[in-house]
Amino acid sequence: MIRRNEKQIIANQVSLEEKEKLLRNKKAFYCTATVLLAIFLCYLPVNISIIIVTLFEDSIPINVKYIMFDLVTIFPVLNSLFNPLIYAVRIKHFRVAFIQLLLRNIFTRADQFDRSTFGRKQTGVVATAEKREIRVSRKYEVRQRIASA
């Protein structure tokens, strides 16, 4: 579905409002997929260790079980650390607020720091669509100048 939307955007088959909506949905999809992947990866070791302990219950010493569970229970706690970091990387407003909080900067300085650090992020589809819009608007301006002259 995302690839179909990208093809429509490149071909200029959608309006600007629809294009913005499609791009927001794409960004939300990737952010949600990243958060779900982090949750899955953080809880996977816990589930695997439970399966191993139940299958080999008699052969694993009790102190090894305790050590293993202590180490494995760190991963779900780390998920609470990963989620704000994922949002800070994926969402600009969250990232600027995060920088502002960490550096105790005012909003404009935090936004400038964000731009200098991360730059202006554009996917190929967005950049292509914006370039095409600029070309179309320039052609329109030239036509207006010719018509008015």
- The answer for residues whose C-beta is within 8 angstroms of residue 144's C-beta and 6 or more apart is none
15-54 as b/e: b if 16+ CB within 10 A: eeeebeebbeebeeeebeebbeebeeebeebeeebeeeee
Q: What is the pLDDT of residue 124?
A: 45
Domains identified in the chain, total number: 1
On the CB side of 69, how many CA atoms lie within 13 Å of its CA?
Answer: 11
pTM of structure:
0.54
Q: Is the dihedral of CA 20, 125, 38, 33 positive or negative?
A: positive
Q: What is the pLDDT of residue 40?
A: 93
DSSP string, 95-117: HHHHHHHHHT--HHHHHHHHHHH
- pLDDT by residue for the chain (149 residues), tens digit each? 566 656 655 556 667 777 777 777 788 888 888 889 999 999 999 999 989 888 988 888 988 888 888 889 899 898 888 888 888 888 888 877 777 777 776 767 777 777 787 776 544 444 554 555 566 566 666 666 676 66
Continuous H helices in the chain: 2-10, 16-55, 62-72, 74-90, 92-103, 107-118, 124-148
Q: Name the residue range of residue 79's domain.
A: 2-148
Residue 58 DSSP one-character state = T
Q: What is the pLDDT of residue 123?
A: 46
The structure tokens listed for 29 are 């999809």
Q: What is the pLDDT of residue 149?
A: 60
